[in-house]
Structure 1
């Protein structure tokens, strides 16, 4: 019984090492990315009026893609050196959820819309597959608390300028400056440089110095605050890249230790056979 247990562990360790090499293989990664891209193209094809035969072919291809994704998740799980931490990664949970929901046959039920939405979100799996995209998303999420304060300050500036604009320019053009909510939309148009000179020249016919109002607003919003946002995101991105590099080094060290332990266990098993 003990010998059978050792043999099973040896076979499992061989399987884990093989799947670990597969999941870290660039060819395997490119294959999965190509399947995700093909899945996205199929979603676009389903939006056109196609023949019933084409729909049937697309349905078969969708089943094949779902099976491939299921096999890929299994390979990633078995090839994980520390399986207890596999589902501690939010991206692994997301991938597994998308794949499991895709397995549910809901195309002909009331949940058909949900099924189509799940297949659309399968395109997001490219983010979890490509490390660079994953770092970008993680950086953006971690930067949100700091960005919140910048956005709050930007809203205060928006609100002050909108109140001033409503006070002075409402009689000139009520469509653009009639109340503070409309003024906020007009200022957003100015900040994005969408025909903002037309708005400025219209008010300058009554208030010749109103150009100061627009230029100072653009300086605060389009230049100062947006550069602050970019700076925060870039700073967090650099920190996230450094953290990813440290985690990768630690992961490789742990994987090497696990492989060394398994090799020692195999040697021990062979000695016990003799």
Structure 2
């Protein structure tokens, strides 16, 4: 068989939407199989799940092989971090370590196969890429939040340690208590407990919640949304840039076809009449 023909067939197969949906279905089924292992199931069903798990692993190996062979330039396959991730997950899943001391690692590797959903679905890849690109800006917000946590933790430890040593005993415990307050986990109980001795301590909690749960968290959401919109805009501009190029090429082909038709028509009219006529 011609290698180029095989490469073209696999390239069409890997780009086929039905094949992509089938791979997504296998990934979902793999997640269900992993979840089933966490239950106390009969030995026979456990053996069936092991067989299914190996079949899923072999299918993933087949799918990665198709994607590799279907790549026009094989070197470009490993330029994608997602392709490297998929290949490592599949290769490590093939190692028979179920009955060894590394069985726990084998189970963890199979859990990470669910992440292959991100490498298959472009929209999920875009969301994750946007989140990664937003990390530098999010880092500054997180640093500012840590400063606020540290200040409020110190203040809370100074004032409220005598009220409840379990919640405000030192700055580390105080910061954990503040995280509980930021997530609104029974924060009013903590506030009313300190208000019994410090009536105006409600200002401490209200100001902290305003800075963290309202201001900073909304700032984080705004940064992520802004990066996602920028990524969508960049992809849209790229697609719009490719579309005029294709339209121009199609127009040139149509014009060339008209020129050829006109040339053939002129040759037909200029042809000398048949002697028999």
TM-score (norm 1): 0.82
CA distance in 1, matches of 2:110, 2:15: 25
Q: CA deviation at 1:111?
A: 2.4
Give the one of 127, 136, 146 matched to 1:145. 136
Contiguous gaps of at least 5 residues in structure 2 = 246-277
RMSD, aligned CA = 2.4
* Alpha-carbon spacing, 1:246–1:89, altered in 2? closer, same or farther (3 Å): farther
Aligned partner of residue 50 in structure 1, secondary structure: coil
Aligned partner of residue 49 in structure 1, secondary structure: coil
Q: CA deviation at 1:136?
A: 1.6
Residues 217-262 of structure 1, C-alpha deviations (whole Å, 9 max, x = no match): 1111001111111111112222333455567789999xxxxxxxxx
Equivalent residue, structure 2, for 1:267? none
CA distance in 1, matches of 2:27, 2:176: 39
Equivalent residue, structure 2, for 1:261? none
Q: CA deviation at 1:44?
A: 1.6
Give the one of 159, 170, 174 matched to 2:165. 174
Q: CA deviation at 1:52?
A: 2.8
Structure with higher RCO (Cα < 8 A, 6+ apart)? 1
Do structure 1's residue 116 and structure 2's residue 107 form an aligned pair?
Answer: yes
* Alpha-carbon spacing, 1:198–1:112, altered in 2? closer, same or farther (3 Å): closer
Residues 116-141 of structure 1, C-alpha deviations (whole Å, 9 max, x = no match): 22111111111111111111222222
* Alpha-carbon spacing, 1:60–1:226, altered in 2? closer, same or farther (3 Å): same
Equivalent residue, structure 2, for 1:106? 97
Contiguous gaps of at least 5 residues in structure 1 = 1-7, 254-274
* Alpha-carbon spacing, 1:143–1:167, altered in 2? closer, same or farther (3 Å): same
* Alpha-carbon spacing, 1:71–1:223, altered in 2? closer, same or farther (3 Å): same
Aligned partner of residue 37 in structure 1, secondary structure: helix
Equivalent residue, structure 2, for 1:210? 201
Do structure 1's residue 76 and structure 2's residue 67 form an aligned pair?
Answer: yes
Aligned residues, how many? 246
Do structure 1's residue 93 and structure 2's residue 84 form an aligned pair?
Answer: yes
Q: CA deviation at 1:215?
A: 1.0
Greater radius of gyration (CA): 2
